[in-house]
Each structure stands twice: as C-alpha cells, then as structure tokens.
Amino acid sequence: MRSPWLHPNSKFLSLGFLFRTVLIGGLGLLGVFPIGQATAASVEVFHADSLAGPMQELKKAFEGKHQGVKINLTSGVSRQLAERILKGDTCDVFAPSSPAVVEEDLMNKKIAGSGKNAASWYVIFSANEMVVITAKGNPLGIRQVADLVKPEVKFVRVTGEKDLATNRTIEFLKKAAALEGKPELAQRIIDGAVVDSSKPNSVPDTIRAVKEGKANAGVVYYSAAVAAKNELDIIRFPASVNLSDTIRNAASVPATAKNGKDAMDFVKFLISAEAQNILKETGQPPVVPAIQKGDVPAELK
C-alpha cells in the first residue's frame, strides 16, 4: 500500500506537504493565527437602561476611532448592575443613572472574595429628564398629566423596587400635577397604572407596553423615549417639574475591570466634545465640564 504522505510523482512534493501540515498544526497549538483573525480587545460596559440609546451611538463612534477594540454593552437597573460588580462580575466601565449608585453602592464596599474597594472615583458626564410617552400620533390627545386620569387612558409606569425610575416617576407626576393645579390627581394616576404586581416593570417594559398598544401612555426617561421616537410621541414638561436638575449619569472604572487601559480611554471619550454632541442628539444633555469625584485618575483631569 502506498503511504498517504507520498505523492505519486514526487517525494519532494510529499515532503513539502508534510512540512506545511506540521507547521500549521504547530501554529495552532501556539495560538498563532493568520493576520486579520486576531482577537479584538473588549471593554465590558454596564450601563443604566436609560443610557441604552446613547450608548449604542457612543459605541459606534468609539469603535470607529479605536480599531481592534470592541465595546460590549450590558443594559439594566443601575443598582442591580452594581450588585453584580460587588459579586465580582467583570465590568470595565460602569455608567449608572445616578452618581449615588457609585457613591453608596460601590465606593468603600469590598468586592466578594477580594480586599479591593469596588470603586474609588467617578465622573458625572450627562443629564436626563422624565417625559410622558404615547402611541405614535398621540391618538387620545394627551397633552398634560391631568389627561392620564381619563377613563379611556391606560397608563403604565416603572415599578421595580431597586429601579431609580420608580421614585422619579412618582416625584415627576406629583410635581407636574401640582403645576397644573390638580395635585390630588397624582396619586390616582400612580394607583391606576396598569402593572403586573408579580413582575417589576422597567423602563424598557414601559416603552414596549406603549409601542405594542398594551398601554396608551407611560413615563420614562427622555433618552429612552428618543431611542424609540420613530414609534412613539414624546411629551416634554417644564424644567421645574421634569427632574432635569437632579438626574445625572456617572461613569467609573470599577475594580473588577480586566481591560483598564481601554476602559479609561472610553471614559475619556464620554467626556469629549464628540461624545457631548452624540449625547445631545440622543436625549442626554452633557454636563460640561464633567464633574469629578473621588480619586479620579490624572489622565481624566
């Protein structure tokens, strides 16, 4: 029987084939791959639901400027994301919908199984506000908070116990109803919301309910509404009631970061002029200059 390594016409060709086979196998064992197949560096970003729209655009812009770096976005309730960091989950950049989450939930708190403080600094880079959303075209003609008590209106709101949007929605409704001269309506609206008592309702849940016609109106963050503006109508309110003076977004590199260098570059990008323009367009007015708290690295100052 002829050896499988022997070429029928030339032993030199067969030896060449054998050499290439051994070489490729060896490179595979060494983890060496052809040019163009190198694994990209990744940055794990945990961010508040309200930042989902802006973060998608910020991701595109950053990756366009940093070839070989991939931003992986994880959206959720800020305090629940902080809990994941305390448990040791890898997070290179944390961007909650309130600086208090970093200040109270991470700073001076130890990561499980580690002597490290979860965070030691943060920057405040953007703001937000609460708005009312309706189905596209606003078929029920909702113009003010008082309209939410009309019998034909099904209203939905955020209800998660750890979700900052829950209390912000309640505060917004109370302020707006008082401004309209009907403060007693706020509690009626809150109590009459269409919610599932067995399941916390989030900002994405609220938007989905209105988009799918399960509700006629809801209250969410302006940036979340802007991200769905093609399918919703947005009703904005005066600064005196929309909480724009208190809602702030922060960013930090927690101690569970595995890619500190690119993470720091991403935070630097968040406070850059380019990112500020993106934030404006996506419903998150930038805070300029960014406010710095704690042991902020020199490269961000």
Answer whether 131's CB lies under 8 Å from 207's CB. Answer: no
Rounded CA-CA distance 148/144 in Å is 8
pTM here? 0.84
Instruction: Give me the residues of the chain with pLDDT under 50, please.
Output: 1-37
How confident is the model at residue 195, as a pLDDT? 80
Closest CA to 133 of 188, 172, 180, 78: 172
- How far is CA 76 from each of CA 114, 155, 192, rounded to the nearest angstrom? 24, 22, 26
Under a CB-based contact definition with an 8 Å cutoff, are residues 124 and 248 in contact? yes
Domains 41-127+247-295 and 130-235 share a fold: yes
Answer whether CATH 3.40.190.10 is correct for domain 130-235: yes
pLDDT per residue over 4-25, tens digit each? 444 444 444 444 444 444 444 4
> Taking the CB of residue 72, how many other CB atoms lie within 10 A of it?
12
* In contact, 283 and 226? CB cutoff 8 Å: yes
Residue of 16, 226, 256 lying closest to 131 (CA atoms): 226
* pLDDT for the residue numbered 23: 43
Q: Which residues pair with 74 in a beta bridge?
A: 46
pLDDT single digits (tens) 166-204: 999 999 999 999 999 999 999 999 999 988 778 899 999
Residue of 103, 111, 104 lying closest to 85 (CA atoms): 111
Domain boundaries, the chain: 41-127+247-295, 130-235
CB 82 within 8 A of CB 35: no
- Count other C-beta atoms under 10 Å from residue 266's C-beta: 24
Per-residue pLDDT at 40: 77
The predicted structure's pLDDT at residue 39: 64
- Tell which CATH classification among 3.20.10.10, 1.10.540.10, 3.40.190.10, 3.40.50.1100 matches the domain 41-127+247-295: 3.40.190.10
